[in-house]
């Protein structure tokens, strides 16, 4: 089950990044985190930018609503999603 943490500005989403994939896509939930595959290699923040873009597209959010809170150089990341409730997020997934 996807672990969502409440935040004063929205919802904190745990993400497990899978860089260097063949396609940008959501790959389900593992250990409470949303697995997101991206084609971009993990260098100089390019993978984090690609993750924001994939999340925005797949969740129907603006990139400005998505902020990386932690895990800049790790595969395990925390993103703050603004302007969406936990229930809305679960429906979109």
Share of the chain above pLDDT 70, in %: 100
pLDDT for 93 beyond 90: no
Fold of 4-82: Conserved Hypothetical Protein Mth637; Chain: A; (3.30.1200)
What's the mean pLDDT in 1-17?
Answer: 95
User: Comparing 36-40, 41-45, 73-77, which segment has the lowest mean pLDDT?
Assistant: 41-45
Residue 55 in tokens: 């999340």
Rounded average pLDDT over 46-70: 96
Given the DSSP bridges, would you call strands 33-37 and 10-18 parallel, antiparallel or unpaired?
parallel
Q: Could you give the CA distance from residue 66 to residue 12 in angstroms, rounded to a whole number?
A: 10
Domain residues of the chain, as ranges? 4-82
For the chain, what is the mean pLDDT?
Answer: 95
13-38 residue pLDDT tens = 999 999 999 999 999 999 999 999 99
């Amino acid at each position: 089950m996807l672990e969502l943490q409440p935040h004063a500005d929205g919802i904190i989403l745990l993400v497990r990044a899978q860089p260097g994939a063949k396609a940008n896509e959501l790959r389900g939930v593992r250990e409470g985190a949303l697995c997101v595959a991206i084609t971009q290699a993990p260098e100089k923040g390019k993978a984090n930018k690609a993750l924001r873009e994939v999340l925005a597209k797949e969740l129907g959010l603006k990139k400005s609503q998505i902020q990386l809170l932690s895990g800049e150089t790790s595969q395990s990341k925390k993103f703050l999603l603004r302007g969406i409730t936990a229930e809305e997020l679960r429906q979109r997934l």
